[in-house]
Chain A
Amino acid sequence: MNKIFPILFLLSLSLTTHAQNFNFGAITYDDYEFDRKKIDSNANAIVLKEFGTASIQRDDNTGSLELIFEHHVKIKIYNKEGFKEANIVIPTYKDESREETISDLKASTFNNFVETVMDRKAIFTENRSKYTRLTKFTLPNLKEGSIIEYSYRLKSPNLFNFRTWEFQGDIPKVISEYLVYIPGIYNYNVSLRGFQKLTDQKSELSKECLRLSGVAIDCSKITYVMKNIPAFIEEDNMTAPSNFKSAIYFELSDVQNLNGSKTSYTKTWKDIDYELSSYKTLGDQMKRKDIFKDLIPEITKGTTTDLDKAKTIYNYIKKQIKWNNYYGKYAEDNIKKALENRSGNVADVNLSLIAALSAAGLDAEAVILSTRDNGTVNKLYPVMSDFNYLVAKVNIADKSYLLDATEPLLPFGLLPLRCINDQGRVINLKKPSYWIDLTASQKAITSYILTGKMTTDGKIIGTLTTHTMGYAAYNKRKDILRYSSPDEYVEKLDERLTRIKILDHQISNLDSVENSLIEKYEVEFTINDGTNKDQFYFSPFFINTISKNPFNLNERTYPVDLGAASDERIIINVFLPEKYQLLEKPKDMAIALPNVGGRYLFQTGLDENTISISQVLQFNNAIYQPEEYLFLKEFYSKIIQNQKTEFLLKKAN
Chain B
Amino acid sequence: MRFLFTVFSFLLVSFAGFAQDNYDVDLIPSNLRNRANACIRNEEITVDMRSPDNVMLNVKKAITVFNQNGEDEARLVIYYDKNISIKSIKGEVYNSVGKLTNKFSQNDFADMSAADGFSLFVDSRVKHYLPSVNQYPYTLVYNYEIRNKQNLIIPDWNPKPADDVSVEKSTYTFICKPIDQVRIKTQNYCGTPEVLTDEKQKKTIWKVNNILAVRTEPYSPAHETYATNIQIAPQTFYYYNHKGSYTNWKELGKWIYDDLLAERKALPPATIEMVKDLVKDEKTDKDKARKIYQYLQDKTRYISVQIGIGGFQPIAASEVDRLGYGDCKALVNYMQSLLSAANIDSYYCVVSAGSEKKSMDPTYASMVQGNHIILCMPLKGDTTWLECTSQKIPFGFLSDFTDDRLVLACTADGGKLLHTPKLTTAENLQIRRADLTVQLDGSVSGKMNTVYSGSQYENQESLIGKSITEQHKLLKEAYNIDNIDFEAVSLAQKKDISPKLTEEVSINIRNYAPVNGNKMFLQLNAFNQKRSIPEIKNRTLPVYINRGYTDEDTIVYTLPDNVIKELIIGQDKSYKGPFGEYVCKASLEGNKLTYYRKFILNDGTFAAAQYNEFSKFVNEVNAADYLKLALSLKK
A contact residues vs B (CB 8 Å cutoff): 41-44, 79-81, 83, 87, 119, 122, 124, 126-130, 136-138, 140-143, 319-322, 324, 341-343, 408, 481-484, 488, 492, 494-496, 498-499, 537, 547-549, 552-554, 584, 586-587, 636-637, 640-642, 644-646, 648
Quick one: closest A residue to B470, CB to CB? A42
Q: Given A42-B470, A554-B485, A584-B519, does the pair A645, B514 have CB atoms closer than 8 Å? A: yes
Whether B521 and A495, one on each chain, are in contact in the complex, defined by CB atoms closer than 8 angstroms, is: no
Question: Does B185 touch A at the CB level, under 8 Å?
Answer: no
> Which B residues from 510 to 567 make CB contacts under 8 A with A?
510-511, 513-514, 516-517, 519, 521, 523, 532-536
CB neighbours of A586 from chain B (8 A):
516
CB neighbours of A137 from chain B (8 A):
120
Whether A641 and B511, one on each chain, are in contact in the complex, defined by CB atoms closer than 8 angstroms, is: yes
Question: Does B199 touch A at the CB level, under 8 Å?
Answer: no
Q: Given A498-B619, A498-B622, does the pair A481, B67 have CB atoms closer than 8 Å? A: yes
Whether B113 and A140, one on each chain, are in contact in the complex, defined by CB atoms closer than 8 angstroms, is: no
Quick one: closest A residue to B302, CB to CB? A83
CB neighbours of B102 from chain A (8 A):
341
Q: Given A549-B482, A642-B514, A644-B514, does the pair A129, B523 have CB atoms closer than 8 Å? A: no
Quick one: closest B residue to A342, CB to CB? B134
Quick one: closest A residue to B485, CB to CB? A554
Docked pose: A176 CA to B347 CA in angstroms: 49
Docked pose: A137 CA to B469 CA in angstroms: 30
Quick one: closest A residue to B518, CB to CB? A584
Q: Given A484-B36, A484-B67, does the pair A553, B121 have CB atoms closer than 8 Å? A: no
> Which B residues from 137 to 175 make CB contacts under 8 A with A?
164
**Mind listing 20 A-B residue pairs with CB under 8 Å?**
A43-B467, A119-B323, A126-B122, A130-B110, A136-B120, A137-B120, A140-B325, A141-B322, A142-B301, A319-B135, A342-B132, A482-B69, A537-B630, A547-B482, A549-B483, A553-B473, A641-B511, A644-B514, A645-B521, A646-B521
CB neighbours of B513 from chain A (8 A):
644
The minimal Cβ–Cβ distance linking B483 to chain A, given in whole angstroms, is: 5
Whether A495 and B467, one on each chain, are in contact in the complex, defined by CB atoms closer than 8 angstroms, is: no
Question: Does B115 touch A at the CB level, under 8 Å?
Answer: yes
Question: Does B324 touch A at the CB level, under 8 Å?
Answer: yes
The minimal Cβ–Cβ distance linking B25 to chain A, given in whole angstroms, is: 14
Question: Does B576 touch A at the CB level, under 8 Å?
Answer: no
CB contact between A122 and one of B122, B323, B467 (< 8 Å): that residue: B323
Whether B628 and A646, one on each chain, are in contact in the complex, defined by CB atoms closer than 8 angstroms, is: yes
Quick one: closest B residue to A408, CB to CB? B134
The minimal Cβ–Cβ distance linking B460 to chain A, given in whole angstroms, is: 15
Whether B465 and A80, one on each chain, are in contact in the complex, defined by CB atoms closer than 8 angstroms, is: yes
CB contact between A140 and one of B112, B323, B532 (< 8 Å): that residue: B323
Whether A140 and B482, one on each chain, are in contact in the complex, defined by CB atoms closer than 8 angstroms, is: no
CB neighbours of A481 from chain B (8 A):
67-69
Q: Given A124-B121, A140-B322, A636-B482, does the pair A81, B514 have CB atoms closer than 8 Å? A: no
Q: Which of A81, A129, A537, A552 has the most CB of B within 10 A?
A: A552
Q: Which bucket holds chain B's interface residue count?
A: 35 or more
CB neighbours of A408 from chain B (8 A):
134
Contacts A322-B132, A484-B35 aside, 6 further interface pairs with beta carbons under 8 A come to: A322-B133, A342-B101, A484-B66, A549-B480, A586-B516, A640-B482
Whether B482 and A138, one on each chain, are in contact in the complex, defined by CB atoms closer than 8 angstroms, is: no
CB contact between B532 and one of A44, A498, A584, A645 (< 8 Å): that residue: A498
Q: Which of A408, A492, A494, A641 has the most CB of B within 10 A?
A: A641
Whether B465 and A79, one on each chain, are in contact in the complex, defined by CB atoms closer than 8 angstroms, is: yes
CB neighbours of B469 from chain A (8 A):
42
The minimal Cβ–Cβ distance linking A164 to chain B, given in whole angstroms, is: 24
Docked pose: A78 CA to B215 CA in angstroms: 50
Quick one: closest B residue to A136, CB to CB? B120
> Which B residues from 450 to 467 make CB contacts under 8 A with A?
465-467
> Which B residues from 31 to 46 make CB contacts under 8 A with A?
35-37
Whether B467 and A44, one on each chain, are in contact in the complex, defined by CB atoms closer than 8 angstroms, is: yes
Question: Does B341 touch A at the CB level, under 8 Å?
Answer: no
Docked pose: A96 CA to B485 CA in angstroms: 56
The minimal Cβ–Cβ distance linking B109 to chain A, given in whole angstroms, is: 11
Quick one: closest A residue to B300, CB to CB? A142
The minimal Cβ–Cβ distance linking A320 to chain B, given in whole angstroms, is: 8
Docked pose: A496 CA to B298 CA in angstroms: 47
CB neighbours of B89 from chain A (8 A):
none
CB neighbours of A130 from chain B (8 A):
110-111
Quick one: closest A residue to B465, CB to CB? A81
Whether A553 and B37, one on each chain, are in contact in the complex, defined by CB atoms closer than 8 angstroms, is: no
Q: Given A484-B69, A644-B628, A645-B514, does the pair A495, B534 have CB atoms closer than 8 Å? A: yes
The minimal Cβ–Cβ distance linking B337 to chain A, given in whole angstroms, is: 17
Count A-B contacts at CB 8 Å. Answer: 148
Whether A321 and B134, one on each chain, are in contact in the complex, defined by CB atoms closer than 8 angstroms, is: yes
Whether B482 and A552, one on each chain, are in contact in the complex, defined by CB atoms closer than 8 angstroms, is: yes
The minimal Cβ–Cβ distance linking A633 to chain B, given in whole angstroms, is: 8
Whether A587 and B516, one on each chain, are in contact in the complex, defined by CB atoms closer than 8 angstroms, is: yes
CB neighbours of A80 from chain B (8 A):
301, 391-392, 465
Q: Given A495-B535, A498-B535, does the pair A645, B516 have CB atoms closer than 8 Å? A: yes
CB neighbours of B35 from chain A (8 A):
484, 488
Residue-wise, chain B 47-78 has the 8 Å CB interface mask toward A (1 for contact) of 00000000000000000001111000000000
CB neighbours of A549 from chain B (8 A):
480, 482-483
The minimal Cβ–Cβ distance linking A28 to chain B, given in whole angstroms, is: 23
Whether B517 and A138, one on each chain, are in contact in the complex, defined by CB atoms closer than 8 angstroms, is: no
Give 9 closest A-B pairs by Cβ, nearest first. Answer: A42-B467, A322-B134, A495-B534, A343-B132, A124-B121, A641-B514, A645-B516, A549-B482, A141-B324
The minimal Cβ–Cβ distance linking A112 to chain B, given in whole angstroms, is: 15
Quick one: closest A residue to B392, CB to CB? A80
Quick one: closest B residue to A494, CB to CB? B535
Quick one: closest B residue to A552, CB to CB? B476
Question: Does B303 touch A at the CB level, under 8 Å?
Answer: yes
Q: Which of A128, A140, A319, A498 has the most CB of B within 10 A?
A: A498
Docked pose: A322 CA to B615 CA in angstroms: 42
Question: Does B182 touch A at the CB level, under 8 Å?
Answer: no
Quick one: closest A residue to B132, CB to CB? A343
Question: Does B278 touch A at the CB level, under 8 Å?
Answer: no
CB contact between B113 and one of A126, A138, A644 (< 8 Å): that residue: A126
Quick one: closest B residue to A127, CB to CB? B113
The minimal Cβ–Cβ distance linking B76 to chain A, given in whole angstroms, is: 16
CB neighbours of A587 from chain B (8 A):
516
Docked pose: A143 CA to B505 CA in angstroms: 30
Docked pose: A644 CA to B135 CA in angstroms: 48
Docked pose: A549 CA to B511 CA in angstroms: 13
The minimal Cβ–Cβ distance linking A123 to chain B, given in whole angstroms, is: 9
Docked pose: A468 CA to B101 CA in angstroms: 37
The minimal Cβ–Cβ distance linking A525 to chain B, given in whole angstroms, is: 13
Quick one: closest A residue to B532, CB to CB? A498
Question: Does B368 touch A at the CB level, under 8 Å?
Answer: no
CB neighbours of B467 from chain A (8 A):
41-44
Docked pose: A142 CA to B113 CA in angstroms: 28
Question: Does B468 touch A at the CB level, under 8 Å?
Answer: yes
CB neighbours of B111 from chain A (8 A):
129-130
Docked pose: A586 CA to B521 CA in angstroms: 11
Docked pose: A83 CA to B467 CA in angstroms: 15
Whether A552 and B120, one on each chain, are in contact in the complex, defined by CB atoms closer than 8 angstroms, is: no
Question: Does B431 touch A at the CB level, under 8 Å?
Answer: no
Question: Does B195 touch A at the CB level, under 8 Å?
Answer: no
Docked pose: A87 CA to B164 CA in angstroms: 40
The minimal Cβ–Cβ distance linking A144 to chain B, given in whole angstroms, is: 8
Quick one: closest B residue to A124, CB to CB? B121
Question: Does B379 touch A at the CB level, under 8 Å?
Answer: no
Whether B115 and A142, one on each chain, are in contact in the complex, defined by CB atoms closer than 8 angstroms, is: no
CB neighbours of B37 from chain A (8 A):
484
Whether B164 and A484, one on each chain, are in contact in the complex, defined by CB atoms closer than 8 angstroms, is: yes
Whether B324 and A142, one on each chain, are in contact in the complex, defined by CB atoms closer than 8 angstroms, is: yes
Docked pose: A595 CA to B172 CA in angstroms: 68
Docked pose: A547 CA to B514 CA in angstroms: 13
Quick one: closest B residue to A44, CB to CB? B467
Question: Does B272 touch A at the CB level, under 8 Å?
Answer: no
Q: Which of B101, B112, B484, B513 has the most CB of A within 10 A?
A: B112
CB neighbours of A119 from chain B (8 A):
323
